[in-house]
Each structure stands twice: as C-alpha cells, then as structure tokens.
Amino acid sequence: MSCNVIIIDDHPLFSRGLAQLIETQKDYKVIGMAKDRNEALSLLDTTTPDLAIVDLNLGQEDGLELIKDIIIIHPQTKILVLSMHDERFYAERAIKAGAKGYIMKEEAESQVINAIKTVTSGEIYLSENEKNRIKELSQGKPESGELSDLISALSDRQLQIFTLVGKGLGTVEIAKKLNLSIKTIDTHKENIKGKLHCASSAELRQMAIEWTNKAM
C-alpha cells in the first residue's frame, strides 16, 4: 500500500534532498512540498497526504500552530516533526499538538527513515533520550532549575512569544503577527518574566536571544 507524503520546510534544498531520500523507500511517494503555512494550507486543499513532515521553524511562523491546522483539515494525516529545534523543548509540545513523532535534523538518514516508518505504522516516534526524559518527569524526579526546565513551564503561546522576542520582534510586531492586542502581548511578557525570573524587559530580551540561538 502506497504512502503519500508532503514536506513542509522553509529550506527548498533540504526538502528536495529529503524527498529523494523518502522515495528510495518502496511505496513512499512525495506528492508536494511547501515552504510556509500559506503554501501548506493551499497544498492541503488539493491533496490528502498520509504523512506530513513538518519543520517547526518556518521563518517567523509557528510550526506548532500549523500542526493543529493540519489535524483540523485532515485528521487522518499523520504528522512527523523533523526540526533543528532541540527536542527537550519541543518534542512533548509537538506530540500534544497532534504530531505522532519528533526527530531532529542532525539524526542519521537511517534514523529519519525509521521515524517515518514508525509514524506511518501508527506508532509514536521519539528518541530514546526524549522517552527517558519524559518518563523521569512523569515519575516526579526533581528538575535541575536550569533555563531548560524553566522554559518547559511556559505555555505554547508564551513560548511562541518568547521565541519571537528572541528573533528580534518588538511588542507591536508580535501583536500584529499573532493578531493579538498589544495589551495581551504585554501581559504574556509579564507572565513569562515571572516564570523565567527576569527582573526587566531587557533581561528577558537578552535571555530570549541567547536561548533562541541555542535552541534552533
């Protein structure tokens, strides 16, 4: 039985290479590629893929929100996240958003194929490290108190705003991009500052820049 795949990634060269890799596998066919949310939604209007491979870093767009969109449009489509984002910060969020697997781009080609086949077979794919991390958290093991642990306490919306701050966007730009009021963004920022123990907006901005460069 054939498996139709779409790839959503903002680097066309990477997408073409991934498509070639996928089509070395029997019964797998790449039927479309998109580089941003608008192209992805247009592609989903004309296709019904069995698998969508999604990068979370789509320029300044949020891949987690796109995952939710895909689930609404084609709930039967399985989603695998293939991203440069550190799995410690995003894998669990991606699964909660509706993805069936998460793998980082630094993994070997054979492992990417393994992740694809695991997800298309109906199972969840996570690395052993991520499985162990989630297991330890579920068992109530104490966290280290490092920034990575503090980041995990942010909601998806707060993480989205924190990341946009790290990419250099100001409050007005973020409000316009997310179609939210400036007051709402300011409220989120204050809550983020509290969760991350930031004393000022400048400290929050510096922390966001450093973290975004590290996590991506």
- What does the pLDDT profile of the chain (216 residues) look like in tens digits? 789 999 999 999 999 999 999 999 999 999 999 999 899 999 999 999 999 999 988 866 778 889 999 999 999 999 999 998 888 888 988 999 999 999 999 999 999 999 999 999 999 999 988 888 777 666 655 455 567 678 878 888 898 899 899 889 999 999 988 888 999 999 999 999 998 888 888 999 988 888 877 666
State if pTM tops 0.75: yes
Looking at residue 73, its pLDDT comes to 93
Looking at residue 216, its pLDDT comes to 60
How do 57-58 and 61-62 pair as beta strands?
A: antiparallel
Contact 21, 32 (CB under 8 A): no
What does 128-189 look like in DSSP terms, one character per residue? HHHHHHHHHHHTTPPP--SHHHHHTTS-HHHHHHHHHHHTT--HHHHHHHHT--HHHHHHHH
End-to-end CA distance of the chain: 36
Long-range contacts of 147-151, Cβ-Cβ distance < 8 Å, separation of 24 or more: 147/196, 147/207, 147/211, 148/88, 148/89, 150/195, 150/196, 150/197, 151/89, 151/196, 151/211
Q: Which domains does the chain have, with CATH numbers?
A: 3-136 (3.40.50.2300), 146-215 (1.10.10.10)
Rounded to whole angstroms, what are the CA distances from 33 to 50, 53, 94, 154, 183? 14, 10, 20, 31, 37
